Structure 1
Amino acid sequence: MDTPQTSTIVILDFGSQYTQLIARRIREFNVFSVVLPCTTPLDKVLALQPKGIVLSGGPSSVYDDTAPKADPKVLETGLPVLGICYGLQFMTHHLGGKVVPAAAREYGHAEVELVDPTALFHGLPEKLEVWMSHGDHAETLAPGFRVTARTANAVASIADESRKMWAVQFHPEVAHTKQGMALLKNFAVDICGAKQDWTPEHFIATTVAKIREQVGETGHAICGLSGGVDSSVAAVLVARAIGDRLTCIFVNNGVLRKDEFAKVQKTMREELKLNVVAVDASERFLGKLAGVTDPEKKRKIIGNEFISVFDDEAKKIFEAEKSSGEEIAWLVQGTLYPDVIESASVHGPSHVIKSHHNVGGLPEDMKLKLIEPLRDLFKDEVRRIGRDLDMPEEILERQPFPGPGLAVRILGEVTPERVAILQEADAICVEEIKRAGLYRKVWQSFAVLLPVKSVGVMGDQRTYASTCAIRAVESEDGMTADWAALPYEVLRAISSRIVSEVRGINRVVYDITSKPPGTIEWE
């Protein structure tokens, strides 16, 4: 990873579901942080010139044969180190202490009492409400360490300040630990001395300068534009660096939302002043999808066809530029940091729940070089960058939309008729959510067309039509989500309008499944 010239906190990931949260929390007070697998060689960690190191939690026991292994020399660098949960146990185990299974596993809310406060707890109350999630605990501390906080059952915090080492058994990064942000700030800013200079203004300036240097005075770039937040912000950043030497390609894959093909073109050209080539390939995509019902096959068909269409258009642009003496050399992608983290899991690539179109999804023989200006950012940071670029809120607050579009919200075969039905139902759902002032308060809200028909009565006549499911979830980053408790009057309005206005649907249901165990999308 190319980190900007700023203070950095390195987080070594031992497989915790909360590791990304640590990075996000530290960035919230404008300190740059990166997540690396715990197996990263120490010289690569130190090459980032970190101000401090955080050892994350993890699901393993330090004694497990399959436990993730980090170089114990990470504890000998002289840099400040903060261990969290498994990180505390890793410290204890490798520095001469003893970790054993706890008599009573601590999971959930707990109260911690400070018994010997250190700089890590500066300004915090003597009793803290925290979130615990561990089965092992430190029975005997390593030489030089002392207990600084306890729960009723176990050691909650230890420290060896002479060696700049602190560790907590709880998770300060989760919202359930009420003073967690203050604790992390004490570590990163006060103990490590990291500068709080990770700001949108700093990011834009350094990124634009880097892109100019990459592309040079005559290079050209192309960008696959979806109209969503990520690709739009990436395109605007690159355009700021190289101007009209960026060409954006916007493809209608036949499964966009209602009127989206026209709306996105208008916004991108008139408001963002981007050079956009629009390609209506809807018949081409829908022809490939005919008869296909398997969701993963749908995704692969759309992904492969997009690459094919994109390649065809890129060749046309390439030939035009070549005839004028210029050549395209760069491809812009809106890859985000969570994609990068998950593709470099501590245990190897994460189990495939759904195929991803950015990281690792490009042809091996691709001749274009990549520009990924958002590669170091989380979604909320992308929106902050967009605001500093004076981009319209309509784009920045747009809810996430899957790459395969409505194809993964149409269960069963994707046909032009079924696409048209879902486009109308989805438009009503979004209109009512916005009318109620809830659009920015939920992570996603949309309609799903089910392969289920049922009997209904409309105008004293029997109907036999499709069922539509409404899905609305609350989330911070899409990795976990809770179903949104929409007001009954909103659900009533959505249901009444869909059944009344959309021919082909006579029943509406509401999905109240969280993630996990479900996923946000149905396919």
Structure 2
Amino acid sequence: MDKLLILDYGSQTTQLIGRRIREFGVFSEILPGNTQITDELLTGVKGIILSGSPHSVNDADSPEPDHRIFELAAAGLPVLGICYGLQRMTQLHGGSVQASDHREFGRSRIRYNETHPLFAGIPESFVSWMSHGDSIIQAGEGFRVVAESENGIPACLAAPDKNMVGIQFHPEVSHCEHGLEILKNFALNICQARAEWSLDRILDDITEDIRRTTDGKPVLLLISGGVDSTVVAGLLLRALDPELVHLMYIDTGLMRLNETDEVVRTLESLGATHIHVVDARDRFLNPLEGVSDPEEKRRIIGDAFIEIQQHEVTARGIPEHAFLAQGTLYTDLIESGKGVGKHAAVIKSHHNVGSPLVIEKREAGLVIEPLASLYKDEVRAIGTKIGISDAVVHRHPFPGPGLAIRIPGQITREKIAILQQADDIYIRELKARGLYDEIWQAFAVLLPVRSVGVAGDAREYGYVLALRAIISRDGMTADVYPMPWDHLLEISARITNQVRQVGRVVYDVSSKPPATIEWE
């Protein structure tokens, strides 16, 4: 099968490149950026992409590719450099890359000044998505500037005789105009790769991998009720004898309102025979008392999950040698600094990849993560394909640590109850108003401040509640959802009227980047 090879230098969006390429049917494989390029590795490869990176090419320890790549390019194998990938190509071919006084982050209009197959069918001026502090000062030998940004900074360089082209912007992120077309032009037109990859192929591979890895042994899945873990449950029940599948729902006390009942109904509809509901509210909430640091919250919750799981495995008669399945997505891995390459920057820890106990299980070969190479939109598509209801498949993402990271500062049971009520009203209102499916993720955050207000003739100090709603394609970048003003006013009034402890409502208008989607 034809494929494109993507070398990862630690960019937070490297996996998106592969995801976008698979989107139009071409198989892609991501490897660490310093991988030695062997003949065996090149089987079926029609082109190579060098990803971005949090590093500067001028850093002493910055990663670089096997130089054989450029020999292969000269021999006819197309190479595309993206951001850092372009800068590294430039430097290795005698050009100059330096820190710029005018850094470019976010939207930037570019214009190409000569035709190139990469821009076939694309307007000569369009809005790109930049993320770089260094800029190319002098092109490498054999390269010429094809496009510039609105700031006069090189945005695309090409060396036709060397079969290399590079772009300073990120076509893989959803906010880059014509980004998918640019990648498609490279894969299908320049590389001449055949579109042979499909969702059916992904599903078949995952199913076979589950069967081969577990080899008749039981599997335990800690299920949260969200899209990811529910799809994993469906995949396990599809691939294995249901008697081998143990689905454990741990009520942390940090879940959404009425979550437990909804989870049980969903699992029963999937044909599960072993559903273990664990009331562990005190075992989570007691250690969290007085804790404000978000990373410490995540650590406590992550360790508690595994400790409780180990205890409950014995108490409930689940075999100790059972595999532990998790609904980890690749966005979880790369934001935890555990992407394909060794140069990813850590943004935040995740309880399902960062806990020492999980690492211990992983080293023992007892962790399976069927979704670890997939993004949310792929997971939703697979969920639909295996028969999970739309109400579950299109449910907004919910973080593993639950409401703990939506209550900045110290957590109390009173705050949890307030947030559960307010968030439930918010989500129900979005659904009733036909807005829910337009939004990637919506939730409420209970802030650690009180604000003066008036209730009747009395002064009261109520909590401040922040509403968050974002639009995204993959969760790696996000824009604020332009909530219609009348809806926002009415939802705010509904919350303050029904949740007496909330005295003020604000709307979060921060995009990602620079903010993250969650507050902690």
For this structure pair, what is the TM-score category when the shorter chain's length is used for normalisation? 0.7 to 0.9
Moved more, 281-290 or 380-389: 281-290
1:248-279, Cα deviation, whole Å (9 max, x unpaired):
11000011111011111111112454632111
Residue 56 of structure 1 corresponds to which residue in structure 2? 51
* 1:380 paired to 2:374: no
* 1:329 paired to 2:284: no
Residue 82 of structure 2 corresponds to which residue in structure 1? 84
What pairs up with 1:333-482 in 2 under 5 angstroms? 333-341=326-334, 342-344=337-339, 348-351=343-346, 353-363=347-357, 364-366=359-361, 367=364, 369-482=366-479
What pairs up with 1:279-358 in 2 under 5 angstroms? 279-317=278-316, 319=317, 328-341=321-334, 342-344=337-339, 348-351=343-346, 353-358=347-352
Distance (whole Å) between structure 2 residues aligned to residue 234 and residue 309 of structure 1: 20
1:22-79, Cα deviation, whole Å (9 max, x unpaired):
2232122122323333223334992775332101244655444343322222222353
Instruction: Give the direction of change, closer, same or farther, for the CA distance of 1:48–1:330 in structure 2 (3 Å limit).
Output: farther
Whether the 8 Å CA contact 1:128–1:178 is kept in 2: the answer is: no
Moved more, 56-65 or 273-282: 56-65
Distance (whole Å) between structure 2 residues aligned to residue 488 and residue 118 of structure 1: 44
Length-normalised TM-score, structure 1: 0.86
Whether the 8 Å CA contact 1:68–1:347 is kept in 2: the answer is: no
Of the three residues 5, 8, 12, the one matched with 2:3 is 8
One-letter code of the match for 2:245? L
Distance (whole Å) between structure 1 residues aligned to residue 501 and residue 146 of structure 2: 65
Question: How far apart are 1:510 and its partner, in Å?
Answer: 2.5
Question: How far apart are 1:438 and its partner, in Å?
Answer: 1.6
SS in 1 for 2:328: coil
Residue 501 of structure 1 corresponds to which residue in structure 2? 498
Whether the 8 Å CA contact 2:228–2:328 is kept in 1: the answer is: yes
Moved more, 83-92 or 490-499: 83-92
SS in 2 for 1:343: coil
SS in 2 for 1:358: helix
SS in 1 for 2:352: coil
Whether the 8 Å CA contact 1:293–1:412 is kept in 2: the answer is: yes
Residue 522 of structure 1 corresponds to which residue in structure 2? 519
One-letter code of the match for 1:72? H
Unaligned runs of 5+ in 2: none
Moved more, 492-501 or 246-255: 492-501
Aligned length: 506
Distance (whole Å) between structure 2 residues aligned to residue 361 and residue 308 of structure 1: 11
Distance (whole Å) between structure 1 residues aligned to residue 188 and residue 87 of structure 2: 24
Q: Quote the RMSD (CA, aligned, Å).
A: 3.1
1:414-454, Cα deviation, whole Å (9 max, x unpaired):
23222222211111111111122221222222222223233
Residue 91 of structure 2 corresponds to which residue in structure 1? 93
One-letter code of the match for 2:262? K
Whether the 8 Å CA contact 1:24–1:378 is kept in 2: the answer is: yes
Distance (whole Å) between structure 2 residues aligned to residue 44 and residue 510 of structure 1: 54
Question: How far apart are 1:310 and its partner, in Å?
Answer: 1.1
Residue 68 of structure 2 corresponds to which residue in structure 1? 73
1:292-350, Cα deviation, whole Å (9 max, x unpaired):
33333322222211111111122235x465xxxxx743111112122334413756452
Distance (whole Å) between structure 1 residues aligned to residue 500 and residue 153 of structure 2: 62
Distance (whole Å) between structure 2 residues aligned to residue 520 and residue 67 of structure 1: 29
What pairs up with 1:120-131 in 2 under 5 angstroms? 120-124=118-122, 127-131=124-128
Residue 234 of structure 2 corresponds to which residue in structure 1? 236
One-letter code of the match for 1:269? E
One-letter code of the match for 1:196? A
1:378-416, Cα deviation, whole Å (9 max, x unpaired):
111111111111211111111111111112222343232
Unaligned runs of 5+ in 1: 1-5, 322-326
Instruction: Give the direction of change, closer, same or farther, for the CA distance of 1:140–1:238 in structure 2 (3 Å limit).
Output: same
1:70-122, Cα deviation, whole Å (9 max, x unpaired):
22222223532112343334334324x4335599958453443353x454444
Instruction: Give the direction of change, closer, same or farther, for the CA distance of 1:49–1:275 in structure 2 (3 Å limit).
Output: farther
Moved more, 248-257 or 496-505: 496-505
Distance (whole Å) between structure 2 residues aligned to residue 381 and residue 44 of structure 1: 31
Distance (whole Å) between structure 1 residues aligned to residue 345 and residue 245 of structure 2: 34
- Percent of aligned pairs with the same residue? 45
Whether the 8 Å CA contact 1:466–1:507 is kept in 2: the answer is: yes
Whether the 8 Å CA contact 1:227–1:264 is kept in 2: the answer is: yes
Whether the 8 Å CA contact 2:53–2:343 is kept in 1: the answer is: no
